[in-house]
Structure 1
């Protein structure tokens, strides 16, 4: 509907604004203290933006609305913003979201040079997760805002067909690995940090390999591989939470 689309489209498009608001809160005392905080969202955003497109080049995947659907024209009738970038001509067939794309052995599809290879991993998911992580120590309103922006961004990313669900799983693992590496760098690369980064990188590479070489096997057994993928993501989340909790300074009795 018009309300749901435009609301989520606004959230999806204004992700940088949310990042700026979090950065303003984290860097509010820089002028007084004459130093940057040890770990802040600007650095995380920059690293995600530097590493993510490189993976796009290694793993060029196009979202379902671009590959199998009518593109952004699907919502043209209800959008309050004019669409300046028609994408319908990129699709190989008009299937999604009316008809699920057929399951077949993956193969390259020829696209023009303007087609966004924007899927693996989902950087919107990575950036929204980074915002969520960096708002955990803020005031209650900021924590609620970070949670809202993450949930709304995930809904928009999936609902609009910009990404597949597998991309979101990879995006979460990707950003947690980046965050772990940045925080480990600040700490001098101790053993726990190295183990966390190595584990996150291993799971991320395993996800990419499984998406590339086992998609038909996973499609034939979704109730087996679906929970396994979610479990792999959950294991990285658990490792990150447990490891970083041990890095927090303990209050004196």
Structure 2
């Protein structure tokens, strides 16, 4: 047993757990410094108080259940629903906020205790991995909330004028799509809003298909959607800190979260009047609006859902395509992102997924080249938005196609390389023909 814990894989998992715990503690301390609760406190509150997102907690429990037998799954679901019914009745009686999800969190935590006290060997490891996968999705949401707090507290100035100027090269797509969404009325708005909010649930649906054989094979596949989803959420906010942007509905409209509303904006223009081309400047913004635009992580996540749904049945492939298109419509149509954010989000997602695939199969020349190329294009996009936005706006017939071609080249390289990595894409070798015997 001691030898097993000294194996390189066990040491790697131990280091990962310690780093993750240290990261959560650091975010908790940072949030407390600004006078609010951090991810650990917020998650702890949801054991008793109304959760922020019940569907997310049940989706997290569903991820954990991929390691259980069907009998155990029905028991776990029944216990979770039973606990939620009790909580729901108590909240209704005392007049508290109504939300479900506590039961799912209790089941997750309960199976963690079962893994440590009632399982041993590989069965314990497998169950802990399932519990960890579910809790990581939950913790990722809380971590993201704390990251957003840090962005608006530490980045008082934003770079929206630079991105909006560069966006002229793409034809100001947020303004165009914003008017289209406005014309669809409330029905179209509600659909896009639901898709935008429930993105993590869609990711879990694809992940459940990818992990459907875990219970029978007693192991996780080397690469799946949840890994990419979580890494994007971990690294993306770091880019927010380097390139703080609030979005067109805030910088060019009435969407400011802080006091004063539109007074923080350049002008009340979005979505009916595109901003004029002028020399951009950094601008001070309120202390409540997240600087969470560059890159668009919603686009990055939706892109990975689309990529990983390609191996699924027809319904899942159609759903993945719909979720990507609807997410693009929401991010642009609600004024949350510029077109430049969307392009950066696609390159960001493809590069991270390529890196995780390359790590899983062992780094080779093709993997190193793909990840290096994707990272180079991503950095080039950010640098161009920051330092040559005026030139991009004045020469849209040059820079517009360049931006699209650069993004398409990364996607094409990713597609071509991953097909070479896929053993199913390599034709089987023909059997050697029998040689005539020499007489």
Report the secondary structure of 2:283's partner residue: coil
Within the candidate set 237, 254, 258, 1:70 is matched to: 254
User: Does the alignment pair 1:42 with 2:226?
Assistant: yes
Q: Residue in 1 aligned with 2:410?
A: 236
Q: Residue in 2 aligned with 1:100?
A: 274
Q: Which runs of 5+ in 1 are unaligned?
A: 74-85
Normalised TM-score (structure 1):
0.91
**C-alpha contact 1:90 1:115 (8 A) present in aligned 2:** no
Report the secondary structure of 1:236's partner residue: helix
Q: Residue in 2 aligned with 1:83?
A: none
Q: Residue in 2 aligned with 1:176?
A: 350
**C-alpha contact 2:245 2:291 (8 A) present in aligned 1:** yes
Q: Which runs of 5+ in 2 are unaligned?
A: 1-184, 431-439
Question: What is the alpha-carbon distance in structure 2 between the residues aligned to residue 221 and residue 36 of structure 1?
Answer: 50
- Shift, 1:103, TM fit: 2.1
Q: Residue in 1 aligned with 2:79?
A: none
Question: What is the alpha-carbon distance in structure 1 between the residues aligned to residue 356 and residue 208 of structure 2?
Answer: 20
User: Does the alignment pair 1:138 with 2:295?
Assistant: no
Structure whose alpha-carbon radius of gyration is higher: 2
User: Does the alignment pair 1:53 with 2:227?
Assistant: no
Within the candidate set 336, 347, 363, 1:189 is matched to: 363
Within the candidate set 243, 248, 251, 2:422 is matched to: 248
- Shift, 1:31, TM fit: 1.7
Number of residues of Structure 1 aligned to a counterpart in Structure 2: 242
Question: What is the alpha-carbon distance in structure 2 between the residues aligned to residue 23 and residue 187 of structure 1?
Answer: 19
Within the candidate set 318, 328, 341, 1:154 is matched to: 328
| Residues 5-45 of structure 1 deviation map (CA, whole Å, 9 limit, x = unaligned) | 11111111111110111111111221221111111111011
- Aligned CA RMSD, in angstroms, stands at 1.8
| Bigger Cα displacement from structure 2, 88-97 vs 17-26 | 88-97
Normalised TM-score (structure 2):
0.53
User: Does the alignment pair 1:18 with 2:192?
Assistant: no
Q: Residue in 2 aligned with 1:166?
A: 340
**C-alpha contact 1:60 1:120 (8 A) present in aligned 2:** yes
- Shift, 1:89, TM fit: 6.0
Runs (4+) of structure 1 exceeding 3 A deviation are 86-90
- Shift, 1:91, TM fit: 2.8
